Chains A and B, each alone.
Chain A
Amino acid sequence: MKNLVEVKNIKKNYGKNEAVKGISFNIKEDEILGLLGPNGSGKTTTIGMLLGLLKPTSGEILINGQKLEGNRIEILEQINFISPYIELPKKLTVKQNLTVYGKLYKINNINERIEFLSEKLRLRGLLNSITGELSSGQKNRVSLAKALINEPKVLLLDEPTASLDPEVGDFVRSFLEDYKKEKKISILLASHNMNEVTRLCKSILMMKDGIIIDKGNPEELINKHGRKNLEEVFLKLSRSKNELN
């Protein structure tokens, strides 16, 4: 499996504050990489750099073999992002929003794509609804449809199931597992839901204070730290001094 995402020693400073202190990792095709860490550990900054919204102070990011620096537009065509902290225009209908983003991502067969995604994400009955009037779970599925409108090779997920009820959360997780398997995409999942990370991710990066303090698959980490589950590993690492860079 080839690496779709290659992050090489990236750093990000805001003035004297070092938000990310030189981290490196890869994400392979057909892989979901979990990005864990306490608030302020540098996860959002890392995602921002992968999206080209933040310029690394140093280091290099390659997406599908292309350098992000200098190829931002070509790379943005291949990636997408979902976060509970960003929304779609509330006054537009679901279909209008998806059409707008279909156009922005230069999708040729927009109607077919919307049809496909609305079927997969149970949005068929909501296409003509006003986006701002939907429930959290429905909005989440619409945002997911927007994030998949361009058939991204790399999907960045920032707490994709935050504030969802267990049923909708489970639906979204199952959908992501199936979609990843079917399309062989790379997913970076930043989440505070340890059950979600255990279920979806074969490998995990633990970040703290801007560095990667541990990595491995969930089982390895649980055994290595002598804990019962990933949540306990998270608590141990969050409260301990940095162990590994």
Chain B
Amino acid sequence: MYGLFLRHFYLITRSFPRVLDLVYWPTIQITLWGFISNFFATHTTYYNNAVGVILTCAILYDFLFRTSIGFNMLFLEEIWSRNFTNLFIAPMKIGEILTSLVATALIRALIGLIPAVLLTSPLFGISILDLGIFLFFLFLSLYLFGITLGILVSAGLLRYGPSFENIAWSTMFLLAPFGCIYYPIEILPDVFQKIAYLLPLVYIFEEARNILINQTVDIQNIYNAFLWNGVYFVLSIVLFYYSFNVAKNKGTLINMGE
């Protein structure tokens, strides 16, 4: 028994991503649900005139989640099946690998999204299409951020190996409190608001609520979302190339073990 405990203890203490994983799940859950509870306790009438806002935001968030996790899954599948080396000795440029993963992640996310969208109407009498033409821009923005997160996590997998896998699963939850998915940004403390404004998520979800509740469109929110998406997307590509070069120096590409 003690031997088995030691086996896992040694593994955890030798891996920073695993230690981080242990600490941050409870922190994130408490933070997220703390803000949600706080919001509903102080703004009981906020959603009265817009049935389905929460559900719409949940679908939007799920699309982001599926895109990001979908991208990570494609990368992780190659590690789990021990096919990683085969992939990286094939004559493909890094740009080609990324492009194919980005396209495949979109198809995966759409396969999950379409049934969810279709089900909300007969089950709850709500249509996400109420967001109109701007729905396309919101989805595009979420897709961009989803694949950006996917590329960032894949860069971490290249750099640190499979132990970075836990981070892959939890990036979305880490950002959820700052994303203001289910509550307006005003509910966050000032410091958190400053962080939230540096993410495209807050503009996307603020705009979704604005369209559904106020029946108006604030183009500035959509513009800000794309602006930040552009910044993070470029950053993620640069980081991926950097991680690839580090992996070539450290030997991670031929040694994808624990």
Query: Is the pairing of A and B real?
Result: yes
Q: Tell me the complex Cα distance, A52–B251, Å.
A: 10
Interface size on A, residues (CB 8 A): 29
Q: Is A65 an interface residue, CB under 8 A from the partner?
A: no
A87 B248 Cβ-Cβ under 8 A: no
The answer on a CB contact under 8 Å between B85 and A104 is: no
Check B254–A54 contact: CB distance below 8 A. Answer: yes
User: Across the interface, do A81 and B89 meet the contact criterion of CB distance under 8 Å?
Assistant: yes
Whether a CB of chain B sits under 8 angstroms from the CB of A89 is: yes
A87 adjacent to B82 (CB under 8 Å): yes
Taking a contact as CB atoms under 8 Å apart, the answer to whether B82 and A86 are in contact is: yes
Chain B residues 71 to 87 lying within 8 A of chain A, measured CB to CB, are: 77, 81-87
| Interface flag for A213 (CB, 8 Å) | no
- A203 contacts the other chain (Cβ, under 8 Å)? no
Q: Are A53 and B77 in contact (CB under 8 A)?
A: no
A104 cross-chain contacts in B, Cβ below 8 A: 87, 90-92
- A44-B254, A48-B254 are contacts. A86–B85 as well, Cβ < 8 Å? yes
Docked-complex contact B83 and A86, CB < 8 angstroms: yes
Is residue A25 contacting chain B, with contact meaning CB distance below 8 A?
A: no
From B249, which residue of chain A is reached at the shortest CB distance? A55
Instruction: Please name all residues of chain A whose beta carbon is closer than 8 Å to the beta carbon of B83 when the two chains form the complex.
Output: 86-89
Hey, what's the 0/1 contact readout for B247-258 against A, CB within 8 Å counting as 1? 011110110000
Question: Do A80 and B89 form a contact, CB below 8 Å, given A53-B248, A54-B251, A54-B254?
Answer: yes
Bound CA span A111–B56, Å: 47
Whether B81 lies near A76 (C-beta < 8 A) is no
Closest B residue to A48 by beta carbon equals B254
Chain A nearest CB, measured from B174 CB (Å): 30
A73 and B93 contact, CB distance less than 8 A: yes
Cα-based distance from A29 to B88 in the complex (angstroms): 25
Contacts of A90 in B (CB 8 A): 81
Mark out the residues of chain A between 93 and 121 whose CB falls within 8 Å of any chain B CB in the assembled complex: 101, 104-106
- Bound CA span A91–B80, Å: 12
List, in ascending order, chain A residues with CB within 8 A of B92's CB.
73, 104
Q: Is the C-beta of A23 less than 8 angstroms from some C-beta in chain B?
A: no
**Min CB–CB distance B144 → chain A (angstroms):** 26
Cross-chain contact of B88 among A14, A53, A88, A146 (Cβ < 8 A): A53
Contact check, B90 vs A85: say whether CB atoms are below 8 A apart: no
- Residue on A with the closest CB to B78? A89
Are B251 and A48 closer than 8 Å at their CB atoms?
Answer: yes
Inter-chain CA distance A55–B87, complex, in Å, is 17
**What's the Cα separation between A228 and B159 when bound, in Å?**
47
Docked complex Cα distance between A48 and B251 (Å): 8
Of residues B86, B245, B251, which shows the largest number of chain A Cβ atoms within 10 Å of its Cβ? B86
CB distance from B162 to the nearest CB of A (A): 14
**B91 contact set on A, CB distance < 8 A:** 73-74, 76-77, 104-106
Contact with B along A18-58 (1 / 0, CB 8 A): 00000000000000000000000000110010011111000
Determine the residue in chain A with the shortest Cβ distance to B253.
A53
Please, could you name 28 A-B residue pairs with CB atoms under 8 Å apart, sorted by A?
A45-B251, A48-B251, A48-B254, A51-B89, A52-B89, A53-B85, A53-B88, A53-B253, A53-B254, A55-B245, A55-B248, A76-B89, A76-B90, A77-B91, A79-B89, A80-B89, A86-B82, A86-B84, A86-B85, A86-B86, A87-B81, A87-B82, A89-B77, A89-B81, A89-B83, A90-B81, A106-B91, A146-B86
Using CB atoms and an 8 Å cutoff, list the residues of chain B in contact with chain A: 77, 81-93, 245, 248-251, 253-254
* A-B interface, 4 closest residue pairs, ranked by CB to CB distance from nearest: A76-B91, A104-B90, A87-B82, A53-B253
